[in-house]
Amino acid sequence: MIILLFGPPGCGKGTQAAFLVDRFQIPAISTGEMFRAECKAGTELGKMASAIMAAGGLVTDDITNGIVANRISQADCARGFLLDGYPRTVPQARNFANLARDKGLSAPIVIHIDVPEEPLVARLTARRQCPQCLRIYNLLSQPPRVPGVCDGDGAALIARADDQEAVIRQRLAAYENLTGPVLKWYGEAAVRKVDGGMTPAAVSRAIEQAVLAATNAAAV
């Protein structure tokens, strides 16, 4: 099972990816998390990615395609995987289709979590993350038990550099300009659209239904 999870920054992709990992027992691969890990480790790739990410831009297709190809060839991806944040451009989508064909993988299940811009800006400026365990909080909807502190390990929560409002608007514009055509490339019939304005649990149920419907359709 291959799930491609689409949706603008702040639509709840991370939360829903965690749900799908648990429900379908497949690893979630987030290109954003992979790039952040490279930044934290201070690698050459990380140094380059951090400047691009802080400015709200996209890392080049070649680098991104390479990091994904490498990751999905690892043993834990043999039964399938979920991609969060990839493909983000039409060349990445084409590259992934070729890679999937060469590896004989099943057709991807394409899920699009849809949320309008203004609620997203409000959600993202309220987002905090634990720098240790990477758990995400939201001061509006999922605050930590003690303000400013991770429930799990007590580390001081941080706002990501790319969660500042000006950067957020740039990221939303980049998402619209680049990923809109990616969804068009997959085609309306292939993209399963879910209303991301519902509660996280309701969004999970809608995504689960969409995945099961796609799996059943493929089995017929």
Which part of the chain contacts ligand AMP (CB under 6 A), choosing from 16-24, 81-89, 93-101, 149-157?
81-89
Question: What's the closest the beta carbon of residue 86 comes to ligand AMP, in angstroms?
Answer: 4
Q: Which long-range contacts (CB under 8 A, 24 or more apart) does 17-22 make?
A: 17/82, 17/84, 19/204, 19/207, 19/208, 20/82, 20/207, 20/211, 21/82
158: DSSP letter:
B
Does the annotation mark 192 as catalytic?
no
Q: Is 64 in the site for ligand AMP (CB under 6 A)?
A: yes
- Per CB under 6 A, contacts with ligand AMP among 44-63 are 52-53, 57-59
Alpha-helix runs per DSSP H in the chain: 13-24, 31-41, 44-54, 61-72, 90-103, 117-125, 165-174, 180-186, 200-219
Q: Is 72 in the site for ligand AMP (CB under 6 A)?
A: no
Does the annotation mark 171 as catalytic?
yes
Q: Is 9 in the site for ligand AMP (CB under 6 A)?
A: yes
- Per CB under 6 A, contacts with ligand AMP among 115-174 are 162, 171
C-beta of 1 vs 68, nearer to ligand AMP: 68
- Backbone φ and ψ of 109, nearest 5°: -95, 115
Residue from 36, 123, 128, 171 carrying the catalytic annotation: 171
Does the annotation mark 88 as catalytic?
yes
CA distance 161 to 192: 31
CA 32 → CA 14, 100, 153, distances in Å?
Answer: 10, 21, 22
Question: What's the closest the beta carbon of residue 161 comes to ligand AMP, in angstroms?
Answer: 10
Binding interface with ligand AMP (CB under 6 A) = 9, 31-32, 35, 52-53, 57-59, 64, 85-86, 88, 92, 162, 171
